[in-house]
Structure 1
Amino acid sequence: MARYLISFDDGAMDHIPDEDWPAVGKASHAVVQDAVDAGVFVFGAGLERQRASIVATDGTATDGPYPETKAVIGGFVIIDVASREEALTWAARIADSCRCAQEVRELMPDPETDAMLRRAGR
């Protein structure tokens, strides 16, 4: 199994009229429930629309995002599936329910962190 980040840019859903938001919420929650039921959902959330804080290696914090950043993540889902094709299938369902395109990226495996989580009972 491999974990994938499925995400969309902040502002990608700005085209949705206010009166459509209840239907979008219902549709997107239905896809999440299907992913939970399929055992592939790891975590997901929308991000508050606000500026990020950038914390440097010395601990100082500044307003962000970095100036060269053109887009920031508006929301995401992490799934654990057998193949990229399966991740793309879930992304298509999410795109349809959220009414916006989704970016799909495979997360790097980290057996050491996975072992830490297992020891912690997660």
Structure 2
Amino acid sequence: MAQYMLIMRGTDESNAAMMANIDEMMTATRVFIEDMAKAGVYVGAEGLDDPGKGVVVHFDGEAPVVTDGPYGETKELFGGFFLLDVASKQEAVEWAKRVPAAPGSKIEIRRVPGEDEVPEQSGEFVKEGASRESSGQV
């Protein structure tokens, strides 16, 4: 089994269409989550707040620059995700086809690498961070 993230991406238009039918969309999403849970593939899911309430930290110069949303030049926004534990990418694709989504939306599918796939140096980085956190250095 492998974990795959189904990333919900929408535009201003698809988000407006979803909000126009929010009760119907929420009901369909609850049913979708129940179906995934019954199939034993559901790990988690979250939606995100309005992008106008967010901020972006840009790393283009020497010091990070923070800007407020909304993101005027962005064509697509990340709106939330479903995390599944399935046997294959194709199974993740089949679940993605069932996501209740407004016209114009997209679902990006990305595999979550397992711990055994993380390079050894990354493991040392994680251990060092945990050590600093437990000693109050973070």
Q: In 1, distance between residues paired with 2:58 and 2:114? A: 25
Indicate whether 1:14 and 2:19 are aligned. Answer: no
Size of the aligned set, in residue pairs, is: 109
Cα 1:17–1:3 change in 2 (3 A) is closer
Provide the identity percentage: 27
* Matching residue of 1:49: 50
Return the letter of the residue paired with 1:3.
Answer: Q
Indicate whether 1:5 and 2:5 are aligned. Answer: yes
* Matching residue of 1:73: 78
Unmatched tracts of structure 2, length 5 or more: 124-138
Q: 2:107 aligns with which of 75, 96, 102?
A: 102
Q: Is the 8 A contact 1:13 1:98 kept in 2?
A: no
Q: Is the 8 A contact 2:6 2:96 kept in 1?
A: yes
Deviation, 1:17, is: 5.8
Q: Secondary structure of 2:106's match?
A: coil
**Residues 17-51 of structure 1, C-alpha deviations (whole Å, 9 max, x = no match):** 62x22111111110011111211111111111232
Q: In 2, distance between residues paired with 1:72 and 1:64? A: 15
Cα 1:22–1:70 change in 2 (3 A) is closer
Pair member with larger Rg: 2
TM-score, reference length from structure 2: 0.63
TM-score, reference length from structure 1: 0.70
Indicate whether 1:93 and 2:95 are aligned. Answer: no
User: Which protein is richer in helix relative to its size?
Assistant: 2
Unmatched tracts of structure 1, length 5 or more: 114-122
Return the letter of the residue paired with 2:57.
Answer: I
Q: In 1, distance between residues paired with 2:87 and 2:19? A: 36
Q: In 2, distance between residues paired with 1:17 and 1:49? A: 11
* Matching residue of 1:62: 66
